[in-house]
């Protein structure tokens, strides 16, 4: 009996020592890393796992152990860590750091907001980035020359395919970056971070259409191309499904699409003026005004809204082959016969000033 009591006491003592050790370790790991109050900017991006966040905090010397960080989250049932830019200090206990990231407060006052408009081309998008961040116009443009980077995007996003690597395409990510208003950590945000944010949002917009896209006659690159053309052709989003139907009908009838907006994009003209005859006849992979060019241009010509994506995936069922808009009223007229179209074109010639 004494032998069993001795064994029991030894076991109890060992367990007690383990418990005390674990308590001490726990208290050590949740305590501040140091007494320093120097702030560090921490950027937690959308989709980052708790493991990635823990490694990030450890790399900035804000927590003592990345693995314990994950354990702490599980013990305290913390599952929602919010993306954002935070200012954190080494003298903060782990509980305070987790609370801040969980609640999504304490954002850096250096945060910036950038609006990318619908229907702008990549040159204009690059200018917006250059005007609002520490990146230059050339920084943005040169990013698209990195083949390894483009291949990484093809691996990361189901809707980005080898189509963007066509040598005839001017800007590989044209039409793939979703236009909206976004917040970034500061002016020091990188081009890659900006593109990731816009691509992530495009994925969110496209995801509900994924099955329809997979069964569509057109692939996602062609759908975005059509969407961008509809985006540029008419300002009234309600008319875009009819515009897409016109383009589809012209393709079925082996007609060129005859789109001025593709001709304008093809010669890289951002100035708002009527196109000359030579510009309309310029031989480039985007110009669908060429009667010899049938089908879609080589790629998208602008950023696209959700309305234009919807229109390109679910176009109206019509017999229209022509359309023309009144650029002052944004009213668009659709026709089945060329004679009716030419009549309306002549009627609007003074209003549209050659457009």
Same domain flag for 99 and 143: no
**276 with 303: CB under 8 angstroms?**
no
pLDDT at 72: 87
Same domain flag for 139 and 66: no
Domain containing residue 226? 218-352
Same domain flag for 84 and 132: no
Same domain flag for 288 and 330: yes
DSSP 8-state code for residue 255: -
The rounded distance, in Å, linking the Cα atoms of 295 and 182 is 35
pLDDT tens digits for the chain (355 residues)?
Answer: 555 666 566 676 666 666 656 666 667 677 888 888 788 888 888 888 888 998 999 999 998 888 888 888 888 888 888 888 888 889 988 888 889 888 876 656 678 899 999 999 999 999 999 999 999 999 999 999 999 999 999 999 999 999 999 999 999 999 999 999 998 888 989 999 999 999 999 999 999 999 999 999 999 999 999 999 999 999 999 999 999 999 999 999 999 999 999 999 999 999 888 899 999 999 999 999 999 999 999 999 999 999 999 999 999 999 999 999 998 888 999 999 999 999 998 998 877 766 6
Same domain flag for 90 and 126: no
Q: Choose one of 206, 228, 246: the last residue of a domain.
A: 206
> Does residue 293 lie within any of the structural domains?
yes
Unique residue bearing structure tokens 């395409």: 169
Same domain flag for 258 and 345: yes
Same domain flag for 123 and 103: no
Same domain flag for 91 and 142: no
- Cα dihedral angle (267, 288, 329, 275), rounded to 10 degrees? 40
Same domain flag for 252 and 202: no
> Does residue 12 lie within any of the structural domains?
no
Helix runs in the chain, H state only: 2-30, 50-59, 66-75, 94-103, 122-132, 137-143, 147-156, 191-206, 210-215, 220-233, 240-252, 260-266, 277-280, 306-313, 338-347, 349-352
Q: What is the crossing angle of helices 306-313 and 220-233, to 10°?
A: 120
pLDDT at 87: 85
pLDDT at 183: 87
Q: Choose one of 151, 175, 206: the last residue of a domain.
A: 206
Same domain flag for 117 and 105: no
> Does residue 19 lie within any of the structural domains?
no
Same domain flag for 339 and 250: yes
Q: How many CB atoms lie within 10 A of CB 250?
A: 20
pLDDT at 27: 77
> Whole-model pTM?
0.72
């Amino acid at each position: 009996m004494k032998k069993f009591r001795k064994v029991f006491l030894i076991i109890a003592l060992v367990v007690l020592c383990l418990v005390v050790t674990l308590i001490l370790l726990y208290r050590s790991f949740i305590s501040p890393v140091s007494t320093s109050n120097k702030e560090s900017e921490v950027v937690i991006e959308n989709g980052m796992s708790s493991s990635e966040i823990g490694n990030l905090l450890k790399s900035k010397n804000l927590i003592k152990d990345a693995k314990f960080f994950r354990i702490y989250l599980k013990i305290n049932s913390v599952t929602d860590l919010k993306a954002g830019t935070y200012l954190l200090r080494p003298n903060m206990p782990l509980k305070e750091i987790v609370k801040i990231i969980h609640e999504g407060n304490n954002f850096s006052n250096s945060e910036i907001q950038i609006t990318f408009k619908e229907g702008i081309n990549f040159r204009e998008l690059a200018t917006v980035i250059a005007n609002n961040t520490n990146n230059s116009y050339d920084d943005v443009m040169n990013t698209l020359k990195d083949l390894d980077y483009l291949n990484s995007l093809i691996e990361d996003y189901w809707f980005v395919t080898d189509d963007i690597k066509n040598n005839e395409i001017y800007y590989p990510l044209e039409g793939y970056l979703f236009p909206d208003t976004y917040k970034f950590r500061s002016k020091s945000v990188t081009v890659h971070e900006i593109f990731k944010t816009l691509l992530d949002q495009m994925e969110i917009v496209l995801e509900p259409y994924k099955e329809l896209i997979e069964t569509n006659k057109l692939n996602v690159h062609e759908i975005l191309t059509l969407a961008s053309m509809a985006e540029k052709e008419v300002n009234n989003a309600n008319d875009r499904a009819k515009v897409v139907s016109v383009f589809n009908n012209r393709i079925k009838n082996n007609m060129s699409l005859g789109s001025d907006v593709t001709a304008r994009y093809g010669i890289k003209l951002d100035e708002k003026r009527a196109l000359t005859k030579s510009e309309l006849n310029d031989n480039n992979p985007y110009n669908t005004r060429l009667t010899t060019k049938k089908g879609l241009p080589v790629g998208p010509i602008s950023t696209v809204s959700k309305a234009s994506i919807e229109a390109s995936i679910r176009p109206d069922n019509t017999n229209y082959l022509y359309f023309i808009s009144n650029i002052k009223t944004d009213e668009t007229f659709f026709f089945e016969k060329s004679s009716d179209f030419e009549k309306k074109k002549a009627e609007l010639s003074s209003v549209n000033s050659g457009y």
